[in-house]
Amino acid sequence: MRKIYLNAFILITIIFITACSSSDLTKEISLTTGINFLDGRILKNVDSHGGFHGDGTTYIEIMFSDKENESIIRSIENNDRWGKLPLTDDLNIALYGKGSSSQFIGPLVTNDEGKGFFPTVENGYYFFIDRYSESKDKKDDTSIINRNSFNFTIAIYDKDSKTLYYCELDT
């Protein structure tokens, strides 16, 4: 009888582990951004969501081949949900921070040590969705840094490194 329970437990564990595959991540990102990112190779996947309210940060890096890069660039350039870099001022502060001699703001998207996840990207595109409950325009990022809570999705595609940097922030 113990063998049956042990085998059932092992089977359930295997099903659970395979259900959370990388193809699910790339499929979700593709649906959210409107671009096919299914064939990429996931380099980094960090998810701190949890707890009662589901607050946390999901940060994912995906690299692509030269052929995939060409297809992605064509798709992005034909998708009005994506913009060409540079970022707007508010998004730049959200990702990289801004400082002066008297104060420092951001970055909002950070790891456990408080360092920003996103590398500086010079040549590429960005995607933004404001998921804040009181947002009237989901594409508008003005004043996102002046809120008490942050709920947005942002992605940057680096043409040179052929890498997608994707983040969902929920506070």
**Mean predicted confidence (pLDDT) in 151-161:** 96
Alpha-carbon span 61 to 100, nearest angstrom = 30
The answer, yes or no, to whether residue 11 has pLDDT greater than 50, is no
Q: Considering the entire predicted model, what is its pTM?
A: 0.81
Which residue did the predictor score with more confidence, 130 or 132?
130
pLDDT at 141: 83
Dihedral through CA 8, CA 14, CA 19, CA 23, nearest 10? -160
**Mean predicted confidence (pLDDT) in 131-147:** 76
β-bridge partners, 165: 61, 156
- Three-state secondary structure of 99-144: ECCCCEECCCCECCCCCECCCCCCCEEEEEEECCCCCCCCCCCCCH
pLDDT 10s digits, 58-108: 999 999 999 999 999 999 999 999 999 999 999 999 999 887 667 778 788
